[in-house]
Amino acid sequence: MNENVLVRVKDLKMHFPIRAGILKRTVGVVRAVDGVSFDILRGETLGLVGESGCGKTTTGRAILRLYEPTSGEVNFRGNDLASESAEEVRRTRRHMQMIFQDPYASLNPQMRVGEIIARPLRVHKLASNAREEKEMVADIMQKVGLNVNFRDRFPHEFSGGQRQRIGIARALATSPDFIVCDEPISALDVSIQAQIINLLEQLREDLGLTYLFIAHDLSMVRYLSTRVGVMYLGKMMEMSSADELYDSPLHPYTKALLSAIPIPDPPLERRRQRTLLAGDPPSPANPPAGCRFSTRCPIAVEHCRKVEPEFRLATEGHWVACHLV
Amino acid sequence: MTQIDPTSESQPVVTAASGLKRNSFWPRLWRSKVATISAIIFLVVVIAAITAPWLSPADPSAIKIIQRLKPPGFTNSAGTTFWLGTDALGRDVLSRVIFGARVSLIVGLSAVVISGTIGVLVGLLSGFFGGLVDDIFMRICDIQLSFPTILLALTIMAVLGSGLDKLILVLGLTGWVQYGRIVRSQVLALKNDEFVLAARATGEQRWQIIFQHILPNVWSPVIVIASFTVASNIVAEASLSFLGVGVPPSVPSWGTMLADGRQYIGVADWLTAPAGVAISLTVLSINILGDWLRDYLDPRLKNLL
């Protein structure tokens, strides 16, 4: 495997059974993630975008094995996580962390801030004594811009942005290589979003982190990401370097998504051409045959509804799953 | 662009002036008058229970038929005053009430420790693991719930015979269902919270997640139930003793006092009134304290009280 590849995801599938009746029989499955493959290179930020319910959060969680993937491979630093035992994965968690979407739900309300940040150190036995632990916590708090004097406060005493900083501090505590950022800014208001984004970007530079950045805010993703992947209904539709994807998108779904970004200039905004998609995404419990996007695609032909397009290299470093490109 | 301004956003929402002192245990208790009064009553009962041999003016078991059924304030020829009168066997009612506090508190608290421990453990495991574990525990709960607690206790005590230790065990083993159910429902809600997922992502082990992350979040309902069951255990002890299957008649207990005094209630109401008042006040103060403690333990309510 290439030296530079930190995470390799190969044909990852995550299906959730639908159970019904008193006997809890499986009556169907939700194909939240249905075979996605990609690499994340050391030091890069891979953005993952798509509308709600397309499986981007599930992908992030399945990579960290917070869910047991139905099938597929997740290779992290040369080891296949999917085949490791629970205990091995637990020890590997030191090197891969997660920042959660909701800073209100992701912090234990009964724990003091210092305790929340110290837990990862304790779990992985990274501090040799209480004093060292205290110093490490103070150091991390400073890194994320939290006042060290507030270590004995409870999460509810902080604002959303501060709470998200606590969540980031917790993720950084074990000095991980790889962090999955699961929509870390979508619960914050706009002025705070920029602060958190800058913080994440600075930390990546200072600490040499690698991010999988999950979001639905397309302009934020462009600003942060080296490469961007677009998901639709559990499948990867397109993936390329951020600039290329935004400047010359190939997939009709990507084009539709990008056309939805408002332009902060009224005259230009009025002339903006929008591709409006008809209808809602189909249910992931019963995806359409052929191309997943064929039911809403403005350019779909008969062939699209029968044969599923493969995810192939269209040009250098630009992957796409569409028959018509 | 990547400059972070630490001052703009890192001040806590609550100002430092509200201080830790104002919110520590005793000042908080003092601010609630009802809770303070309850605490004092409860403390008096506890002190009475501990110091009963020194505090009580007479031997609670000393029988003297000659001075039977004397009204409160009666002074015998030896110059001893019986402030709450004497019972049908000439025993000092005040001393019996003081000694009765011992039985009530021991039964109330010990049984709660037993039932609380079992119930919380069952609830945690049942809620967290779900599946077969949950099914088995919850069916046991259902079976237990189908018997009225007092009837179950009465039956077991009738078979085992009376005794303080047996009473504690029976009340302890019949009372866990409430804890189990409440804790289970709390755990079911909590285990899908993001902070539990975050704990897993951190690499915490399952027992750490259960006991260090989830357990602290179920304490407050447990404490409220515990306070109510201390109270209901005291009542249960009194009822079982009243019915003659609780503590042996020789041991002074509020329940036995009520039972003994019942037949004289028309002529000597001082036999039943003190025990009844003692039960009511103790139970009421424990309930109020439990309520207050629940609010105290919820850090989100800290500045509102």
Residues of B in contact with A102 (CB under 8 A): 194
Q: CB-based contact (8 Å) between B134 and chain A?
A: no
Q: Are B86 and B49 in contact (CB under 8 A)?
A: no
Query: In this predicted structure, what is the pLDDT of residue B74?
Result: 80
Q: CB-based contact (8 Å) between B11 and chain A?
A: yes
The full DSSP string for B124-191 is HHHHHH-HHHHHHHHHHHHHHHTS-HHHHHHHHHHHH---HHHHHHHHHHHSHHHHHHHHHHHHHHHT
- Measure CB to CB from residue A66 to each of B4, B6, B201 and give the nearest one: B201
Query: In this predicted structure, what is the pLDDT of residue B7?
Result: 46
Q: Are A295 and A288 in contact (CB under 8 A)?
A: yes
Q: Where are the domains of chain B?
A: 30-301
Query: In this predicted structure, what is the pLDDT of residue B302?
Result: 58
Query: In this predicted structure, what is the pLDDT of residue B127?
Result: 94
**Best of B194, B200, B205, B214 to disrupt the A interface by mutation (most A CBs within 10 Å)?**
B194
Contact state of A100 with B198 under an 8 Å Cβ cutoff:
yes
Question: Which of the four pLDDT bands, split at 50, 70 and 90, describes residue B21?
Answer: low
> Quick one: closest CA in A to B18, which residue?
A157
User: Among all chains, which residue has been given the structure tokens 């077991």?
Assistant: B156
Q: Are A64 and A180 in contact (CB under 8 A)?
A: yes
- Measure CB to CB from residue A198 to each of B2, B6, B300 and give the nearest one: B2
Superfamily of domain B30-301: MetI-like (1.10.3720.10)
- pLDDT at B14 exceeding the cut of 60: no
Contact state of B10 with A202 under an 8 Å Cβ cutoff:
no
For A12: left if phi > 0, alpha if psi spans -120 to 50, otherwise beta; the answer is: beta
Residues of B in contact with A202 (CB under 8 A): 2, 4
Give B168-194 pLDDT, tens digit per residue: 999 998 889 999 999 999 999 999 889
Q: CB-based contact (8 Å) between B222 and chain A?
A: no
Give A120-164 pLDDT, tens digit per residue: 999 999 989 999 999 999 999 999 999 999 999 999 899 999 999
Q: What integer is the mean pLDDT of A51-68? A: 90
Q: How far is B42 from chain A (nearest CA, A)?
A: 28
- pLDDT at B10 exceeding the cut of 50: no
Q: CB-based contact (8 Å) between B12 and chain A?
A: yes
Give A108-124 pLDDT, tens digit per residue: 998 999 999 999 999 99
Query: In this predicted structure, what is the pLDDT of residue B16?
Result: 42
Q: CB-based contact (8 Å) between B4 and chain A?
A: yes
Give B77-102 pLDDT, tens digit per residue: 777 788 888 888 888 889 999 999 99
Query: In this predicted structure, what is the pLDDT of residue B256?
Result: 86
Write the secondary structure of B40-75 as one string of H (helix), E (strand) and C (coil). Answer: HHHHHHHHHHHCHHHHCCCCCCCCCHHHCCCCCCEE
- pLDDT at B15 exceeding the cut of 60: no
Report d(CA B208, CA B299) in Å as an integer: 21
Provide the chain B residues 286-305 that lie in CB contact (below 8 A) with chain A. Answer: 299-300
Residues in chain A, overall count? 325
Residues of A in contact with B203 (CB under 8 A): 90-91, 93-94, 120, 123-124, 174
Lowest mean pLDDT among A52-56, A140-144, B122-126, B291-295: B291-295
> Which domains, and CATH codes, for chain A?
5-291+307-320 (3.40.50.300)
